Structure 1
Amino acid sequence: MTHILLVDDEPHIIGLLERALRADGLEPVSAEDGESALQLLDERDIALVVLDVGLPGIDGFDVLRRIRAGGSTVPVIMLTARSGTADTVEALDAGASDYVPKPFVVAELLARIRSRLRESAGASTVLTYDGVTLDMLARRATVEGHDIDLSAREFALAEQFLRHPGEVLTRETLLKQVWELDFDPGSNVVDVYVRYLRGKVGASRIATVRGEGYRWEA
């Protein structure tokens, strides 16, 4: 049975999602606050977390940071009644897999859950190419056997390159996969982080394809 952890202090939302998940063949587990959620993650085999930002005690952002600090790569979909780009950026920077504003359409949330579960099931836990290794579970990166310190965004960017060596990845693709944001032609965030990553894995490993994007050299 695939267990989905629901973390929300609104009983009607928990009840609604529990019914929807069971109808979809999934098994919900629920918590009303962050501490209870973290305890359940330690005790149960959880495949995915649906996590509300506004929780009593520690908020959803802090819960997410503690999940990632413990080395867990469990997919986390954030829910929030707040609006604004700042909250979206904070959630994704903290390690969220997806971000859904309230009120939400249940069918859409279920589709996002299924998509993240498929990605998680199909993802290799260790990626190695040309002397660079990413351990997805330990969140550890090495170059020629030496540990390097990558931020969450740098790690996610390196993951995209190592999953597609030799392929040209456009800025649009990288912005969508790493930042979960629609393409903004005025943004240089991809170029900035590619520069950071080159400085840590070696500039020769990532080639610029003029007018298209970047390629991890095969």
Structure 2
Amino acid sequence: MFPRNAISLDPRLSAIRDLAGSCGNFADIGTDHGRLGAHMLLAGLCRFAQLTEVSERSLAKARELIGALGLSDRVRFLVGDGVEALEDPPDVAVIAGMGGRTIAGIVERGREILAHARIVMQPNVAAPELRLRLQRAGFRIADEMIAKDGRRLYVVIAAEAGRMELSPEEIEVGPVLLKNRPGALADYAAFKIRVLKKALADAEGAELRRKLGIWEALNHGDR
């Protein structure tokens, strides 16, 4: 059995919780171990939770944790890919730990059920594309955070139905992050600069190697 106060969260999940706030009906899309849903229930941040995974097997860890905590009567376990699995429209929906494109696709397909929800997203990659697609899908960014866990940095985005017009800088960095300039933004900026410089160097190197291969093949063919 798990003690009821044992559900601590790492910095990434803590940031997601902070942007989620309190609600009646909480949904965690791709819940994995179910820790976030369990924490939300035990902390009194939600009254009921819908936890989804792509298969019954994937839900096993969450079922075990929720059952051990005696919370099963307040949780619905659902199998499906995205918010289409939800049986009731949530007040807050978390979609975390996936690529930005995947998250955007989930939001776009579930636009109707998410129409009145606060959507909290943590994209592992492609955050700018996610912001742009949220804008196109009729959602506005309400808040953003950067969570730091050791050397890892995570962008967390909260959005709600509404209009927004983002500048290129806001799409790339994030409108709230650009406005508030949190302390972790400097670390995240340094990380992005390193990644972009490496991508540019790799792209130039690959192109040079391709050209070199052409000349080497031509040179060998003349012998």
Given the two structures, how large is their TM-score scaled by the length of structure 1?
0.39
Q: Which has the larger radius of gyration?
A: 2
What's the TM-score, normalizing by structure 2?
0.38
